[in-house]
Chains A and B, each alone.
Chain A
Amino acid sequence: MTHCRDIEEQLSLYVDDLLDNAAATDVRTHVDHCAACAGLLADLAQIASTAKLLGPIAPPEHLYARLVTRLPPASGSGTGPTTGRPLWRWAGIAATVVAATGLIWFAIGMGQIDGPGAPSEAAMADGFESVASEVDLAVRHYERAVSDLETAARVAEGALDVDVATAVRSGLDTLDRAIAESRVALDADPASEPARISLFEALRRKVDLLQTTVVIVNDTNSTEAARPVTTTERAL
C-alpha cells in the first residue's frame, strides 16, 4: 500500500513530468483515491502553471548549497544512508521542506514585479491579489512541512541539554513572534515586500531549527548513555 507521505515526495516530480512510468502510475493510482494528495497535486500544478507564465526565478547560489546539505545522498552510492540512520528518518520531511522552500522563493519572487517593464497599476492590483493567494498557498505548504517536525521537536526538547533547550525554545519563540507580526502586516498590506520576506525567512528558519533540534535529540538518545541527566535537565 502506498502512503501519502511517500506520494507527497513524488508529486513535484510528477507535475514536472520527471517520474518514470511506474512511479507516475503509482502517483495517479494513489491520487485517484486520496482527496488530500489530489488537492496537493492540484495546488502544485497550479503553481507550476503560474510559474511558467512568470519565467524563471533564480534563487541565490548559496541556497543550492544549503539544500544540498539537507538532501540525502543518492541511494546505491558507497556513502548512502545506513538503515536506521536517524537523519534518514527525516528525509521525507526534508524533501517536503525542500519543495516548500522552492515555493517560498517562488512566492517571494512573485512580489518582485517592479523595475523596467513593470506592469500597469491595474495589472499590479491584480498581481497583488494573485501574490497574496500564492503566498497563502506557499505558507500552507510550509506549515504542512513544519507540523510533523514541530510536534516531534516539542516532545524531544526535554531531552536536550539545558543550554541548548533554552536556546531552541527562545529561538522558536522569536521565530513565532516574527511569523505572527509578519502575518498581521501582510493582512494589512498584502503588497509589502519586507513583510513577505520576513514571513518566509522566519518560516524557513523555523524549519531549520526544528530539523536541527530533532536530529540532535535523535543522536543524543543514542550516545549519551555515559552522561547522567541532571536535575535541571530532567526538570525541562
Chain B
Amino acid sequence: MKHRLITLGTCASMALGLTSAGGRVFAASDRQSSTTAAQAAVLDQLSAWPGAGFPGDEQDLRAEVSDRQTHTLAIGANGSLELKTVTGQITCVAGTGSSATVEVIRRSRGRTDADAKQGLVDVRAEVDHKGERATVVAVYPTGRQPQPRPYSVDVSYVVTAPAGTRVSASSVSGDVSVRGVKGDVSASSVSGDVSIANAAQVGAAKSVSGNVSIVGLASSSAVNVGSVSGTVTFESVKATQVNAESVSGSISFVNGGTTTGVSFKSVSGNIDYDGEIGKGGRFEFASHSGNVRVTASAVGFELQASTFSGAIRTEPQQALRSATSSPRSVRGTVGDGSAVLVTTTFSGNITVITR
C-alpha cells in the first residue's frame, strides 16, 4: 500500500511558525505547484477530503486494539529528535545517557475488530535514525478513498531523551509536553495544550485553541510563544527576548522572570506582566480591548502609555518624573530611564505599577 508521510505536523508547525529552514517537507500530492491557483487548489482538496460523507460517528467505533513499541535511538548527548503525530499526545522528559527511548503507542478504534486491527496495519510510526538525528513520524495511508476508512487511530509518543537533545514536537489534536530538556525545544499543537518546563532554550511554542505554558525557563535566546484562543503563561522565565501573541487568550508573565526585551500583543485578551524591566531593554505591550497591567521591578524606564478610549493609571504617581499626561497618554521617566516601556491599547485599560 502506498503511504504518505504525515505532513500535518510539519505543515501545521509551519503554519504556526515553527518550521526551521532545514525542516524536511514531503509532498502531499503530485499536483503541480501553483501560486496562481491557490484558492482552487484548496477547494479541490476539500472536495477530495476522504473524511467527508462518512456515514458513522465516533460512538460507532466500539472495537479497540492497541500496540506499543519501544525504540532506542543512539543520538548522543546533544542530538536532535523530531516527533510528529496527528491525533495523539507527545510527552518528552529529560533522561541521562546518550540514547533516547521512544515508546510509540498506537490505539485503533473501529466498528468491528477487523476494522480496528486494519487501523493498526494501515497506520504506523516511521522511525528514521541517522547519526545524531532521529525523526518519528506518524504515517497514514494515502490515496483517494471511495469511503472513509472505518477506524480511528491515535499515535502517541512517550519519550525519554538525553537532557541536551534538541526536540521538535508537533501534534494536531493532542497535547505536547516537554520537561527538563536543555537543548532547543520547539513544540506545537493545533487543538491541544503545549507545556514546556525547566527548559534552557525554547525556540517556539504555539497552539491555536490550546493553552501554552512555559515554566522555569532560563534561556539566553529569544522565546516565541503564541495562541489564538488559549492562554499563554510564563512562570519563572528568564530570556533575552520574550515574544507572545494571542487573539482572545490572555498573556501572563508571573513570578519575576528577568528579560531584556518583551513584546506581548493580544486583541481581546488581557496582558499581565509582573517582572523585572531589564536595563536597556525594550518592553512592548499592546492590546486592542484587553487590559494591560505591568508590575515592574526596574532600575528605570521611559514610559510611553497611550490608549484611544481606555484609562491609564500609574502607581505610585510620584515615581514618574518629567511626566506629560492627558487622559489618553502618559509619558515620563521612572528611575534612571534606561529601559523603554511602551504600552498601547485601543479600549483596554492600562495600569503600570512600579515597585
- Chain B residues with CB under 8 Å of A5's CB are 35-36
Interface string of A156-176 (1 = CB under 8 A from B): 100101011011101100110
Q: Which of A71-104 contact B (CB under 8 A)?
A: 73, 79, 81-93
Whether A222 touches B308, Cβ cut-off 8 Å, given contacts A151-B39, A231-B57, is no
Residue of A92, A159, A202, A205 with highest tally of chain B CB at under 10 A: A205
B191 adjacent to A163 (CB under 8 Å): yes
Whether A229 touches B52, Cβ cut-off 8 Å, given contacts A181-B288, A212-B15, A222-B142, is yes
CA of A79 to CA of B288, assembled, Å: 39
A194 adjacent to B308 (CB under 8 Å): yes
Whether A156 touches B6, Cβ cut-off 8 Å, given contacts A83-B33, A174-B247, is no
A194 adjacent to B23 (CB under 8 Å): no
Whether A6 touches B7, Cβ cut-off 8 Å, given contacts A152-B42, A197-B344, A225-B140, is no
Give the A-B pair count, Cβ closer than 8 A: 272
- From A89, A194, A225, contact of B307 by CB (8 A): A194
A182 at the interface (CB under 8 A from B): yes
- Chain A residues with CB under 8 Å of B4's CB are 222-223
A198 at the interface (CB under 8 A from B): yes
B33 adjacent to A84 (CB under 8 Å): yes
Number of interface residues of A (CB under 8 A): 78
Complex interface: stretch among B72-80, B94-102, B127-135, B146-154: B146-154
Q: Which of B182-238 contact A (CB under 8 A)?
A: 190-191, 208-209, 222, 224, 228-230
CA of A123 to CA of B61, assembled, Å: 71
Interface residues of A: mostly helix, strand, loop or mixed? Answer: helix
A70 adjacent to B34 (CB under 8 Å): no
- Chain A residues with CB under 8 Å of B344's CB are 193-194, 197-198
B338 at the interface (CB under 8 A from A): no
A33 at the interface (CB under 8 A from B): no
- From B15, B16, B141, B172, contact of A225 by CB (8 A): B141
Nearest to B309 among chain A residues (CB) is A185
Closest chain A CB from B221 CB (angstroms): 11
A202 adjacent to B288 (CB under 8 Å): yes
CA of A88 to CA of B33, assembled, Å: 7
CA of A9 to CA of B38, assembled, Å: 14
Whether A226 touches B16, Cβ cut-off 8 Å, given contacts A62-B241, A163-B209, A167-B229, is no
CA of A205 to CA of B286, assembled, Å: 13
A62 adjacent to B54 (CB under 8 Å): no
- Chain B residues with CB under 8 Å of A81's CB are 25, 33
7 pairs, A vs B, C-beta closer than 8 Å: A65-B222, A84-B31, A85-B7, A167-B228, A193-B306, A222-B28, A227-B153
Q: A87-B15, A164-B191, A223-B28 are in contact. List 13 more A-B contacts (CB 8 A).
A: A5-B35, A60-B263, A85-B25, A86-B11, A89-B35, A89-B42, A185-B346, A194-B307, A198-B286, A202-B267, A218-B42, A225-B141, A228-B54
A-B CB proximity, top 10 nearest: A92-B35, A167-B209, A215-B15, A198-B346, A167-B229, A219-B8, A171-B247, A222-B28, A178-B288, A194-B308
